[in-house]
A and B are shown apart, each in its own frame.
Chain A
Amino acid sequence: EDQVTQSPEALRLQEGESSSLNCSYTVSGLRGLFWYRQDPGKGPEFLFTLYSAGEEKEKERLKATLTKKESFLHITAPKPEDSATYLCAVSSSGSARQLTFGSGTQLTVLP
């Protein structure tokens, strides 16, 4: 059974204070790792897909990286509008038709 653990559960940063969110996973054959952003009362918004260890993707102040056991979402010089819950999900060869989600990290960026 695939497992995804995200840490920390909540993170408060000052504007401009860079940090990283962690997503640890246990799967039987990773097919893809996905990052989403979810604002309160809204559905998750797709950010990145990573397929293999060593892969990196960037979008504005966000950079996602992947190793064989975990993924990091690095946030550089965050702004208040980056405040949201960030979700990590995996798809594996053991459950190719499903995404397994973590519980998310709630990020608050203070002005």
Chain B
Amino acid sequence: ETGVTQTPRHLVMGMTNKKSLKCEQHLGHNAMYWYKQSAKKPLELMFVYNFKEQTENNSVPSRFSPECPNSSHLFLHLHTLQPEDSALYLCASSQTTGFDEQYFGPGTRLTVT
């Protein structure tokens, strides 16, 4: 595997379900990010981790819960989501936080029914 991988690629879940998104980066980076991308809107930064420590939480609802067990893996745990949470969820990594270029995974297309 190379670059940034995400699983699953597609996910349909009901509002009462609990699911998790997984991201793994094979670039030796120290920073990882979760973004939300909705149609016709700019990418929204959700969470930032630097050396496994969460450094940013952009007022994300508690129904989204991130986990970063090490610098290569990032999870986003989902529970009691709303239909408006349907979007493309993108994981990214960079050498460090700040102004380094970020490399993105292919995303998970989430549909909440």
- List chain A positions with a Cβ less than 8 A from chain B: 4, 31-32, 34, 36, 41-46, 49, 87, 89, 91, 96-104
Is the contact region of chain A dominated by helix, strand, or loop, or is it mixed?
A: strand
Q: Which of B13-21, B70-78, B94-102 contacts A (4 or more CB under 8 A)?
A: B94-102
Additional 17 contacts, C-beta under 8 A, given A42-B107, A44-B43, A46-B103:
A4-B42, A31-B98, A31-B99, A34-B101, A34-B102, A41-B106, A43-B104, A43-B105, A45-B104, A46-B104, A87-B43, A91-B99, A97-B50, A97-B97, A99-B45, A103-B40, A103-B41
With a 10 A CB-CB cut-off, give which of A4, A89, A91, A99 has the most chain B CB atoms. Answer: A99
With a 10 A CB-CB cut-off, give which of A42, A87, A102 has the most chain B CB atoms. Answer: A42
Within 8 Å of chain A (Cβ to Cβ): is B22? Answer: no
CA distance A100 to B44 in the complex (A): 8
Residues from chain A with a CB closer than 8 A to the CB of B102 are: 34, 46, 99
Residues from chain B with a CB closer than 8 A to the CB of A101 are: 42-43
